[in-house]
Structure 1
Amino acid sequence: MDIIALRRRNLRAVIDTAINSGKSKSDAAFCEHFDLNPSHISQLVKGHGSFGERAARNLEKKIGLEVGFLDKENTPSTEIEKLDNNIVPVTSKLLPVLSWVQAGTMTSVETVNRSEISDWLPPLSIDDPEECFYLRVVGISNFPTYMEGDYILINPTLCASELISGDLIVVRHNTDATFKKLVIESDGRKYLQALNPNFQPNIIEFEEGAELVGLVIDAFRPLGGSRPKRDRRS
C-alpha cells in the first residue's frame, strides 16, 4: 500500500473510531469538533485530494494524534481502539520548531518571535518542560544516528555546569548553532564531537565564548523511520 492510500485508510479508521465510540455522531460532527473543513476531509478520505506529508502532519496535530500515526503500515486493531482516548478536545501543549538561525541568535525561548514560527509539534513526553523546542537536523555530521530531516527535542533550561561527558547538546557561537556530542576530559577541557566518524573536523574544542543552547533530550524521525531509543535526561 502506498503512503497516500495508507494515510486515507488510517484517517478513515480514526473517524470511524470516534463515531463508534460515541464521541462523534457523523463525519461532519467529527470535523466540527476539531474545526476541520468537512469538504476537505471528505476529499482526503475518498482519494480526491492531495494528502502529502505536510497535510498529514498538520492533521495529526489538529486531531491530537502522535506524529507519524497516519503513516503507520499495519496499525493493530488494539492501537486503533486506543484512539478513543484521543477523540476529545485537544488541550495538550505544542512546542515550536525553531530554525537554526533562531537557535543561534536567541537568548531564551521567550525572545523568539512566535509570529515567525510556522511549525508546532506535540511533546514526546508529558514531562517535557514547556520551554522545550524542536530543531530539524541538517547535514551529515551526526549520520547515521541522526539523519537530515530528523527532529531533535531541546531542553534549554539546563546550565552548562549540569552537563556530563557524552551529552548531546546544541551550542552557539556568535550567530552559529551546532549539534554535537560533548566530551569532557579529566582535566576539565571540553570538546564537541560529531557522531559521524567520517565527518571532518570530527572533534573541535568548546571555544571560549560559546554558549549552551540546550540539551538534546529526545528525537524522532518522520514517516515511521526507526532510530534506537536513547536514555532521556531532563
Structure 2
Amino acid sequence: MQRNLDRIRLANLRLLIGEAGSADALARTTGTSGAYLSQIRSGTPYKSGRSRRMGDNLAAKLERATGKPLGWMDEPHAAGPGLGAADPTGDLSPWSSGGLCPLISWVQAGAWTEAPAFPDAEARINCPVRCGPDTFALRVRGESMEPQFREGDLIFVDPAVPPGNRSYVVVRRGDGSGAATFKQLIEEDGRRYLKAANPHWPRPIVEADADAAVCGVVVFRGSAVPDGVNARPAQPSG
C-alpha cells in the first residue's frame, strides 16, 4: 500500500510542478526548497541509499499552499476527458528500457499509441532524470516555444506523467491530420488551450481540439553545447 501511495504522491507532485511552471516556483509557494522537491520528483536516494519519498507533513503542506482539499495528494487525479492522463499508480521505473529512451521523429510522435514501440528510432539516449518505461525523446522544431525551448533542443516526453495546467506537453492533434505538436497546456474554466511560449508567434494560444490526445509530458530538456564552446584556447608559444 505504501508503495502505491508513494507513486500517487509522486505523480501529484509532478502535476503541481507542472501547474506552477517549475519546482522552484512551487517551492516559493510552499516555503520549501526547490532542490528538495526536484530530488523527490527524480527519485534521488539519500546517502544511505534509502529511496527519497514524500512524507505526510510535506504532502499536507503542498495541499494547503496550492489550495487543494485535505487528502488530495493521496488520490490519483486524471486530467479529464479528451486530453487524457495516464494512471499515476502505474510503474515509474528509474529508466526506460535498458536505461535508454528512443529518439524519434515528429511523424512517429503523431502515430503515438498507448503502448508505444519505436523500432525505427533514430537513436537511443539516456534520460538524465527518473522517468517511465515508455519515455521517448524528440528534437524541438521551429521557434514557437522560444525562448524556453530552442530549435534542436532535446525534450524527453513521459506518457506516464499526468498532464496538468501549465504542463509542457506533446499533443497529437484531433483534426485527423495525425500531426503532433509541442505546446504548453492551459486549463481555464473547463476548457483546454495549447499555448506557444513565443509571445510573437502568430497564434500564441489556440483551443485544443476535442479529440486531441496528450502523448506525454516533458520531464527534461537538454541542449547541445555549440561547436567551439569547449575548445581550449591556444597557448602562446615561447
Give me the TM-score of the superposition, normalised by structure 1: 0.51
* 1:166-185 superposed Cα distances (whole Å, 9 cap, x missing partner): 11111002310000011111
Name the SS of the counterpart of 1:103 in structure 2.
Answer: helix
Name the SS of the counterpart of 2:113 in structure 1.
Answer: coil
Tell me, in whole angstroms, the C-alpha distance in 2 between the residues paired with 1:198 and 1:145: 13
Higher RCO structure (Cα 8 Å, ≥6 apart):
2
Name the SS of the counterpart of 1:110 in structure 2.
Answer: coil
Tell me, in whole angstroms, the C-alpha distance in 1 between the residues paired with 2:215 and 2:136: 11
Does the 8 A contact of 2:168 with 2:182 survive in 1?
yes
| Cα displacement (A) at 1:128 | 1.6
Q: How many percent of aligned residue pairs carry the same amino acid?
A: 34
| Cα displacement (A) at 1:223 | 1.3
Tell me, in whole angstroms, the C-alpha distance in 2 between the residues paired with 1:167 and 1:224: 28
The corresponding residue for 2:111 is: 105
| Cα displacement (A) at 1:224 | 6.5
| Cα displacement (A) at 1:100 | 0.4
Tell me, in whole angstroms, the C-alpha distance in 1 between the residues paired with 2:165 and 2:114: 24
* 1:14-73 superposed Cα distances (whole Å, 9 cap, x missing partner): xxxxxxxxxxxxxxxxxxxxxxxxxxxxxxxxxxxxxxxxxxxxxxxxxxxxxxxxxxxx
The corresponding residue for 1:169 is: 169
Name the SS of the counterpart of 1:101 in structure 2.
Answer: helix
The corresponding residue for 1:15 is: none
Tell me, in whole angstroms, the C-alpha distance in 1 between the residues paired with 2:115 and 2:146: 27
Q: Give 2:128's aligned amino acid.
A: L
| Cα displacement (A) at 1:92 | 5.6
Tell me, in whole angstroms, the C-alpha distance in 1 between the residues paired with 2:163 and 2:136: 18
Tell me, in whole angstroms, the C-alpha distance in 2 between the residues paired with 1:117 and 1:92: 15
Q: Please provide the CA RMSD for this pair.
A: 1.9
Give structure 1 stretches of 5+ with no counterpart: 1-90, 226-234
The corresponding residue for 2:100 is: 94
Does the 8 A contact of 2:163 with 2:216 survive in 1?
no
Counterpart pick for 2:132 among 129, 141, 148: 129
Tell me, in whole angstroms, the C-alpha distance in 2 between the residues paired with 1:109 and 1:194: 28
The corresponding residue for 2:194 is: 192
Give structure 2 stretches of 5+ with no counterpart: 1-96, 228-238
Larger radius of gyration: 1
Q: Give 1:102's aligned amino acid.
A: Q
Q: How many residue pairs align between the two structures?
A: 128
Tell me, in whole angstroms, the C-alpha distance in 1 between the residues paired with 2:116 and 2:149: 27
Does the 8 A contact of 2:139 with 2:154 survive in 1?
yes
Does the 8 A contact of 1:92 with 1:122 survive in 2?
no
Tell me, in whole angstroms, the C-alpha distance in 2 between the residues paired with 1:210 and 1:155: 17
- Cα 1:196–1:139 shift into 2, 3 Å: same
Q: What does 1:1-234 align with in structure 2 at a 5 Å threshold?
A: 93-112=99-118, 114=119, 116-125=120-129, 127-158=130-161, 162-173=162-173, 174=176, 175-185=178-188, 187-223=189-225
Q: Give 2:165's aligned amino acid.
A: S
